[in-house]
Structure 1
């Protein structure tokens, strides 16, 4: 296995998701099927942190859950991301309880109930903090 190929999100409004990903998180739009649908519905592709993200029109999750995608960021960049997202009307969630040393996070939902996390920590740091070095 070489890693993750891409992550797909089902959304009501592709343009709104594009604004969320590009203006809120700094993604670059790479493709818009715009009527030439090769998949199940209209879709857009984005690149964020070297990861291919796909967004397809459809019925998103009806409810919010803790299932989420986490992106690695620098702790010093968290305030700028928070400001960008709040400017788009994104609700920033209260931070969850953490133990010291596992890294700070910013949690938020997109406009279709998908939970995102921006995390300033690594697996090695977390396991070390939990006393379970690899």
Structure 2
């Protein structure tokens, strides 16, 4: 018995089609399900696969305020400018980078259209801990 990993991540959104555009065109997700013909859950939803992660988007009331709570995906450093250009072309709100120390990795922070914060990050936990002088 034990936790095997993350099953899925669910976001409440106002507009499922806009979220599909954000995830598929902006980040390269693949849409795999739309409950429009027959709803089995609390409200209409769509499922996506992004980086091997199941992401569910469900119609509902998104967060009213922006916070630093976020979902981060690992990407190659050379891919950051490509993602930034794609996201900007969709009108996504790109945030200024936070201060970093060398060896911590590089990040691109951005909000979707429903106040959810995302990060594309180039570093790993091992690299971060080594930089901070900590082992686990």
| TM range, smaller chain | over 0.9
d(CA) in 1 for partners of 2:39, 2:69 = 28
TM-score normalised to structure 2 length: 0.97
d(CA) in 2 for partners of 1:58, 1:65 = 18
- Match in the other structure for 2:38: 36
- Match in the other structure for 1:121: 123
| Count, aligned residues | 134
d(CA) in 1 for partners of 2:129, 2:11 = 29
1:71-110 matches, cutoff 5 A: 71-110=73-112
Unaligned 5+ segments in structure 1 are: none
- Match in the other structure for 1:52: 54
Specify the SS of the correspondent of 2:88: helix
RMSD: 0.6
TM-score normalised to structure 1 length: 0.99
- 1:35–1:42 contact (8 Å) kept in structure 2: no
- 1:78–1:106 contact (8 Å) kept in structure 2: yes
Deviation of 1:133 (Å): 2.4
